[in-house]
Structure 1
Amino acid sequence: MANVRIGKSDLHVNPIGLGTNAVGGHNIYPNLNEETGKELVRSALDHGINFLDTAFIYGPERSEELVGEVLKERGNRGDVVLATKGAHEFKGEDIVFNNSPSFLKKAVEGSLKRLQTDYIDLFYIHFPDEDTPKAEAVGALKELKDEGKIKSIGVSNFSLEQMKDANKDGYVDVLQSHYNLFQREAEKDLLPYTAEQDISFIPYFPLASGLLVGKYDENATFDDFRAKNPLFQGETFKANLKKLDQVRQIANSKGVEVAHVVLAWYLTRDSIDVLIPGAKHKEQVIDNLKTLNVKLTGEEVQRVDSIFS
């Protein structure tokens, strides 16, 4: 599949990117090996993935540093579309969200340093705070865009009301928000709005923390944050596995895996142009690219829709 345009920005990327929360994200996953994380990034770039998604809070800071190290060693910065996020402010042992113009500008400067680059292709406000008008926050990013420090503007985890405020002047290029086949609340308002406004919607946790990969059975156990995720608990977990068995029938008919069908289905949705599945092993990075060879019929798209309706 050819590169696609992200929203109304000037960014063009492979529809399959790489989410890097397992690259240095020690506060998210236990026992991460940093060299393995760097190999994920190298493997992605070696196989044609040119869109990397990271954030200040992954680590914290460490994911950005490791991604920056790989980009520095390869010397191909212009070939990579780099996205990162900021909004988390540490106050002693507490973390608060801060969208003030002064904080966002400092956040961008910090990310530039850790990523060892002089520009960021896509910078997101990672979470909304309670006080800052969203148009004012985005306006600060527009100033940074005019200065060449960022190339496009994103927001993440915003409600529809916050989105409308943020995009009052039409500056928002991307919304990143929680969406997958098990959790489809975004279809009610956010996806229609982004489609109407020519804003790309990039779902995070598109594979539902690995559940939609289709590799687990009823005996699976989890020792990370999934241990408390309702999708992985008791009878709900068993019911979810039965839904995946139905998707597996489609996957088997095409000679691919469940995850490839799921990711291909997302790319049939209005305003979903790009996906950023994460990975813990370089083989997963390469495997995700098989999605681009999956062509779903209209009937298959409707079948997947109805399985998870």
Structure 2
Amino acid sequence: MAKQIQLGKSDLYVNPIGLGTNAVGGHNLFPGSDEEVGKQLVRTAIENGINLLDTAFMYGPGRSEELIGEVVKEGGKRSDVVIATKVGPKFVDGKMLMDNSPAFLQEEVEKSLQRLQTDYIDLLYIHYPDQDTPKDEAIGALKQLKDEGKIRAIGISNFSPDQLKEANKDGYVDVFQGEYNLLNRKAEQAYFPYMIENKISFIPYFPLASGLLAGKYTKDATFKDFRASLPYFQGEAFAQNLDKVERIRLIADAKGVEVAHVVLAWYLTREAIDVIIPGAKRAEQVLNNLKTLNVQLTNEEIQAIDSIFHV
């Protein structure tokens, strides 16, 4: 069993490898995905010591929460699982609108509790900022829900550094989720110092840069989905990034592990990061992600990776 890590200053303790569940019932993101395969993926995670399940209303929308609720209920041990979910946005006339108003947040938390078939959510995030609501007011609404026992920890996602500081004016924010990987290290300057100073856990999303940092691709690969528009998949940048990944492969090969394991292990050496939540589409990928915990990087290797992907 992996050592449990405290999330920020909250009372949540988790395996450093969590599970991102956007492929579990996230039919709007992965059309045609098999719900039973998704549920088995969650079962495999729980059975093998992964206790942080990261979901969101956006995945489905709502369906991911429902499937996770079913699996957790059938297991009968709610207290063994740390469920993180994100409220918002709302859909009006087919348009996606952000809303951080206290009334909306409180209403959405009640709906999430029903979908998850639980009476409390361990970590509740505001998924996206809106333009109007003062951020400390939005967090105040979550603090009230925490005081009522409906949520245990408060998170925010996709907020700018200034919005984060406004949200945390009273020191209530426990976790921040944002984009960070070896190809996009802006968060190291923009967020990490504030996180460390305020004991807020930074949880990175897109940790493997849509598979590029997993060592899956060759220079003749072509993309027709959302990856085609990402800057690190473009022309010369793509070729240079693949060369960098090959340098990581040398470290991985020497350890008898995969490139992804080395990359994920490197993130866990960052002071601001307590846990990572790689996604998976199949149960065997969940087990594979857990191999990250066996990777011990030397100081020389940590510095070498840092310099290969120098900002």
Aligned partners of 2:80 and 2:70: how far apart in 1?
A: 15
Match of 2:81 in 1: 80
Counterpart amino acid of residue 226 in structure 2: F
Q: What secondary structure, in the 3-state scheme, does the structure 1 residue paired with 2:210 have?
A: helix
Counterpart amino acid of residue 177 in structure 1: G
Q: What secondary structure, in the 3-state scheme, does the structure 2 residue paired with 1:7 have?
A: coil
Match of 2:120 in 1: 119
Q: What secondary structure, in the 3-state scheme, does the structure 2 residue paired with 1:121 have?
A: strand
Q: What secondary structure, in the 3-state scheme, does the structure 2 residue paired with 1:152 have?
A: strand
The alpha-carbon deviation at position 236 of structure 1 amounts to 2.0
The alpha-carbon deviation at position 162 of structure 1 amounts to 0.7
Aligned ranges 1:46-125 → 2 under 5 Å: 46-125=47-126
What is the total number of aligned residue pairs between the two structures?
309
1:282-301 Cα distance to aligned partner (Å, 9 max, x none): 11100111111111111111
Aligned partners of 1:38 and 1:226: how far apart in 2?
A: 27
Alignment check: 8 A CA contact 1:29 1:224 kept? no
Using the TM superposition, name which of 29-38 and 267-276 deviates more: 29-38
Task: Tell me which stretches of 4 or more aligned residues in structure 1 moved more than 3 Å.
Answer: 221-224
1:241-272 Cα distance to aligned partner (Å, 9 max, x none): 11100000111111111001000100010120
Instruction: Say whether 1:132 aligns with 2:133.
Output: yes
Aligned partners of 2:261 and 2:49: how far apart in 1?
A: 17
The alpha-carbon deviation at position 235 of structure 1 amounts to 2.4
Counterpart amino acid of residue 23 in structure 2: A
Q: What secondary structure, in the 3-state scheme, does the structure 1 residue paired with 2:156 have?
A: strand
Alignment check: 8 A CA contact 1:30 1:224 kept? no
1:73-97 Cα distance to aligned partner (Å, 9 max, x none): 1111110000000120111111110
Aligned partners of 2:221 and 2:117: how far apart in 1?
A: 40
Q: Give the unaligned 5+ runs of structure 2.
A: none
Counterpart amino acid of residue 126 in structure 2: I
Aligned partners of 2:306 and 2:45: how far apart in 1?
A: 30
TM-score by length of 1: 0.98
Counterpart amino acid of residue 88 in structure 1: P
Match of 2:28 in 1: 27
Counterpart amino acid of residue 71 in structure 1: V
The alpha-carbon deviation at position 159 of structure 1 amounts to 1.1
Alignment check: 8 A CA contact 1:28 1:225 kept? no
The alpha-carbon deviation at position 225 of structure 1 amounts to 2.3
Aligned partners of 1:77 and 1:205: how far apart in 2?
A: 28
Aligned partners of 1:28 and 1:239: how far apart in 2?
A: 29
- Aligned residues: percent identity? 66
The alpha-carbon deviation at position 172 of structure 1 amounts to 0.3
The alpha-carbon deviation at position 142 of structure 1 amounts to 0.2
Counterpart amino acid of residue 134 in structure 1: K
Match of 2:282 in 1: 281
Match of 2:149 in 1: 148
Match of 1:205 in 2: 206
Aligned partners of 1:96 and 1:157: how far apart in 2?
A: 15
Counterpart amino acid of residue 59 in structure 2: Y
1:70-125 Cα distance to aligned partner (Å, 9 max, x none): 11111111100000001201111111100000000011111101111110000000
The alpha-carbon deviation at position 192 of structure 1 amounts to 0.9
Aligned partners of 2:7 and 2:269: how far apart in 1?
A: 15
The alpha-carbon deviation at position 191 of structure 1 amounts to 0.9
Aligned partners of 2:291 and 2:225: how far apart in 1?
A: 27
Match of 1:12 in 2: 13
Instruction: Say whether 1:308 aligns with 2:303.
Output: no
Aligned partners of 1:295 and 1:173: how far apart in 2?
A: 28
Aligned partners of 2:30 and 2:238: how far apart in 1?
A: 21
Q: What secondary structure, in the 3-state scheme, does the structure 2 residue paired with 1:71 have?
A: helix
1:147-169 Cα distance to aligned partner (Å, 9 max, x none): 00000000001111111111111
Aligned partners of 1:193 and 1:231: how far apart in 2?
A: 27
Counterpart amino acid of residue 306 in structure 1: S
The alpha-carbon deviation at position 20 of structure 1 amounts to 0.3
Match of 1:298 in 2: 299
Aligned partners of 2:51 and 2:222: how far apart in 1?
A: 34
Instruction: Say whether 1:251 aligns with 2:283.
Output: no
1:133-157 Cα distance to aligned partner (Å, 9 max, x none): 0000000000000000000000001
TM-score by length of 2: 0.97
